[in-house]
Chains A and B, each alone.
Chain A
């Protein structure tokens, strides 16, 4: 099960944009405000809507969290006051939604939701948000429900994803291999007790609450947990927003290798990143049979557009490379004594 394409019209920063995806790893780059996170949140909302108890339009609102939960606030400001149109297409079905400035609350029109639920009902999808949240997991869902804190659904959902166990039986060889690699970095196993996450150290079995673990390590521990509990299996989809945040660069090649392995085992992955090292490692570590595609989102007079290339180095509008090159040029000029 994979997502093939998205079509977006008049939604936040997008005027009209169609993007075809790879069934493997899709890496989004672009400056702040070019909608990288919005695209992956849209796709995530559609993936979650395969569940009968989740409505696509309600999920959009809970993931984007516009004021007063008004979906009309997500319509892009345009002179003709045209409404927003979103369509997400997979191999066997498509789901779409339409709403305008006049749409009440979160009641957008949704099309083909039943077929989408029927064809993709078994799909597991996970969104790892940019800020690490498991350390604040205790009672998060209840606090959000009571409106005591204002986290969007990606934060609530990841806590749930991390807690559940949907494995059947013992760890497969592949799973054991991944867990061993990640455990070398975290130096411990994840466990949950009374709704709180801990890291259990080998040897003395010391139990360390997540709040006391370094943020970068918590992220890798989360990946460990999602692999352990069966969330990232063949046919599932992973969305990861800014995976590089708080990670020691020395661990980035391990994470990239892990994601490539997951892709080889049938997980479709969408990543939004600002990091040269992260993006470049996909290029360096990929093998000929790996499916990796880069998408650069950039502003234009007709809203945000997308440049797509199988090679990071061949992307022309590359904001990451632009920033790194500017620094390297300054270093160079300084060394020349100018």
Chain B
């Protein structure tokens, strides 16, 4: 297996994709260097036995978060950004020829978050993702297979993702 353990940008948590087929956190620097950052990137992409995982991580629950209340994950601005990250990252991953179903997971931690607010945010973002679009008769291949908004705990206890645990760095 050729996946890696990646640390997130604040260096508080790490994502262990060592049992994945491959994994990367390079989209950000790649887009910075090649397309002047007009494309938005997800934090990690990894291939599992059955899927390609697009993983975006946001955490304002950490001690070093400068102004946790400034982050409003349910806002129109925030939810649009998360949707764009999928579309832009999809261009690159598709062009790399990866054929397995694409699952998009938004790992979200914030002070007032609970499973209900995460589901509300999921539903809001999902309406901007191509679920309905891909039912169009001219589209020949599935663009996205699923979208979830999970806490760190929910990710670690999910049967699909628990093999790639998130833990303190």
Contact = CB atoms under 8 A, between A and B. Distances in A.
Nearest to B120: A328
Interface residues on B, range: 10 to 19
Contacts of B112: 283-284, 313
A325 B132 contact: no
A337 B127 contact: no
Contact of B123 (A276, A280, A328, A337): A328
A321 B126 CA distance: 20
B116 interface: yes
B126 A336 contact: yes
> Shortest 3 CB-CB distances between A and B: which pairs?
A313-B114, A328-B119, A336-B131
B126 A332 contact: yes
A203 to B, nearest CB: 40
A321 B123 contact: no
Contacts of A332: 119, 122-123, 126
A337 B122 contact: no
A321 B127 contact: no
A34 to B, nearest CB: 20
Contacts of B132: 335-337
A27 to B, nearest CB: 14
B29 interface: no
B116 A276 contact: yes
B114 A321 contact: yes
A329 B126 CA distance: 12
A283 B117 CA distance: 13
A329 B119 contact: yes
B114 A312 contact: yes
A335 B116 contact: no
Nearest to B146: A336
Contacts, number: 40
B167 interface: no
A335 to B, nearest CB: 6
A284 B113 CA distance: 10
Contact of B115 (A321, A336, A337): A321
A329 B127 CA distance: 13
A337 B144 CA distance: 13
A264 B15 CA distance: 43
A326 to B, nearest CB: 10
A312 B116 CA distance: 11
Nearest to A311: B114
A284 B131 CA distance: 33
Given A276-B116, A331-B123, A332-B122, 18 more contacts: A280-B116, A284-B112, A313-B112, A321-B114, A324-B119, A325-B115, A325-B119, A328-B116, A328-B122, A329-B119, A332-B123, A332-B126, A335-B123, A335-B126, A335-B127, A335-B131, A336-B126, A337-B135
Contacts of A284: 112
Contacts of A313: 112-115
Interface in A243-295: 276, 280, 283-284
A324 B131 CA distance: 23
Contacts of A335: 123, 126-127, 131-132
Nearest to A328: B119
A325 B126 contact: no
A270 to B, nearest CB: 23
17 contacts: A284-B112, A313-B112, A313-B114, A321-B115, A324-B119, A325-B116, A328-B119, A328-B122, A328-B123, A329-B119, A332-B119, A332-B122, A332-B123, A335-B123, A335-B126, A336-B131, A337-B132
Among A321, A328, A331, max chain B CB count under 10 A is at A328
Among B112, B114, B122, B132, max chain A CB count under 10 A is at B114
Nearest to A334: B123
